[in-house]
Structure 1
Amino acid sequence: MSGICAGRVAVVTGAGRGLGRAHALALAAEGAKVVVNDLGVGLDGGGDPGDGTADSTTDGPAQRVVDEIRAAGGEAVAHGGDIATAEGAQSLIATALDAYGRLDALVNNAGFLRDRMLVNLGEDDWDAVVRVHLRGHFLPLKHAAAHWRAESRAGRAPEARVVNTSSGAGLLGSVGQGNYSAAKAGILGLTLVAAAEMARYGVLVNAIAPAARTRMTERTFAETMAAPGGDAFDAMAPDNVSPLVVWLASAASAGVTGRVFEAEAGRITVMEGWRPGPTVDKGARWTPAEAGEAARELLARAEPPQAVYGAG
C-alpha cells in the first residue's frame, strides 16, 4: 500500500464512528499507520468515567475500525483512553511511539453534544462539552508537541502536522449550542497559537470546520440521508471531508499553517477570520454619546455579520 501518507504515523481521536472513522480509514488508504482512539461513549458522553482509565480496545468502536483497516491491508492499533485527561492523552501519544516508533500527524476530532438553550444549560453540561472538545484538543496537542520539540532539538526535524476540528458553530455560533459553540471557537484560538508556537519545531497546525452526517448531526441532515438515483453523490457523507484532512496530515501540505478550512460535500472554503473593518481615531477620550455616534457610523460602513445558525 502506498499513497500521499505512505510511511507516516497518524493519531485520530474520536475515530470509532462518523468523521473520525472516515479520517482513519482515508489515512490508512493513503499509506498511514493509524492509532484509532475512541472511548466508546454515547452521543452525550454518557459512560465516560472521566479518569483516563476507560478501555474500549477489546470490542469497542476503535477496535472495529482497526479491524476494518487491517482487513483492507493497512496497519492500525486501537486506543481506548480518555484523551481529555493528562494520563489518557499521554498514553495516546505513547501508543503511537510504542507501536510504530514515530508520530507524524495528530487529528483531533473527539467530541459530543449536550444541547440546551442558555437559560436551561446546566453547569455540568457546559463543563462536559468544553472538557471533551477543548481540553480534548489541548492535551493530545500538548503531549504530541513535547515529543516533536524533543525530536527537533535532537536534530531530527519532524514534518509534523496537527488537524484540529472546529465547526460552523465555532465560527458563527449556533442557537441551543452555547457550550459547543464556545468550545469550538476556543479550538480556533488554540489552533492559531499552536501554529505560531510550534512552527520552529517543524509542526504545522490547521483546523477544519466540517459539515457531514454523523451521530451528532443525523437529525439536522436527516432529509439528505437517502440520495436519489442510487449512485448519486451523497453530499453529507463524512468521507467527503476526509480527503482534505489527509492532505493536511501529509508532507504535501508544507507551508500551510494557522489556517481554517470549511469542508462540506464537494466544497472547500478558506475562512478568513477576524480582520479589522472600518475604524476611526479621535486622538482623545470619547464621551459615551460620541462613542455611540462613532460606533453607529462605523457599523453603517461595515459588512453585516453572517447569521447565527438557527436564528430567525
Structure 2
Amino acid sequence: MRAILIVNPNATSTTAAGRDLVAHALASRVTLQVAQTTHRGHATELGREARQAGLDLVIVHGGDGTVNEVVNGLLGTPAPTSMQSVTVGPVPLLAVVPGGSANVFARSLGIERDPVAATNQLIDLIGAEHRRRIGLGYCVRVAEGRSEDRRWFLFNAGMGLDADVCAAIDKGRHSGDPVSPSRYVRTAIATFFRRKRADPRLSVTVDGGPEHDGVHYAFVTNTDPWTYLNDRPVRTNPDTRFESGLGVFAMRTTAVFPSLRVVAQLLSPSRAPASSALIRTDDADCVVVRASEPIGLQVDGDYLGERTEVRFVSAPDALDVVAPPTAPAAR
C-alpha cells in the first residue's frame, strides 16, 4: 500500500520526536513518504497531489484544520448542481493521527486521542481492512445569485457567535497564544457578552421550508458531538451522524437565563437541547443561512471571513476513512 503522511509541524500537540515515532511505526506497514506543510493551503495542495499520483492512503497528522484542507484537496470542487466531486481518478483512503488541540473529527470516528496509541490503532485497522464510508457537509457562498467559494466540511460550520470565537482564537494563535479548551471557553464567554445586545441578523431555511428569522447565531453539524470541553462532549444535535443529513442548531435569543438553560442541556449526556428560542433539526439535506449584513463564517474551526448568504448541503457517501467499523459512543 502506497501512502503519504502529511504532517503539520505547527499543530498544537505535535513534537519532532512524536512525528518521527509515528512515521517510523507507519513505515513498518506501508510504503510511506512524509511531507510537512509549510503554509496555509499547503495541505490542500498535498492532498490533491496524492490523489493525482494514485496513492492508496493519505494519513494526516495534525489538527482539524489540516484534515479539512487535505479533504478539500482529495475531493476537489463539487459540481454546483449535483454536489458530486469532480476529481479525476479514485480518491485515496483517509486516516488521521490526532495532532491538534481538539481533534474533533478523529474522536468522532473513534480514533484514540494520543498520537502513539492512534498510530498503533490505525496499523491494526489497516491490517484488518476496516474502513468506513461517511458523508460530509458542503458550504457554498451565494453572492448576486451565483454560487462561489465552495468548501467541504467534516463536522461543523457556523455563522455568528462561533465564527467570531474562531476568529479570535486564530488571531491569538498568530500572536503566539496557546490554544486550549479553556481558552475556547473564555473566548466564547467574552464574545457572547460582547454581542448579546446586538440585534439578530440571521435567518435560517431548512430543506426549502419556511424562513426562520430573528436568529443570532447558527451551527450546521455533520456528526455528534462536534466539540468537546476536555473529555466532556458538547452535543447540539445528538441524532446527527456521518451517515445522516445535517444537524441545525440556531438560537433566537441571547438572554442570559434561557442561554444558560440551553448550555446546561448541551452538556447533558441524556437529553437533547430544547427551548422555545431554539430552531433545531437532526437530518437536513440543505440549509440556507442569510444575514442582513455581513457576518462571520467558520468551517471546522477555520474562520473564512464574512458572508451574507451561505448554503450548506449534505453530501452522503463522500469519503472512505480508516476507522472502527461502528460509530463510537460519545466519550
TM class by smaller structure: under 0.3
> How does the TM-score come out when normalised to structure 2?
0.25
Structure (1 or 2) with the larger CA radius of gyration: 1
> How does the TM-score come out when normalised to structure 1?
0.26
More strand by share: 2
More helix by share: 1
Question: More relative contact order in 1 or in 2 (CA 8 Å, sep 6+)?
Answer: 2
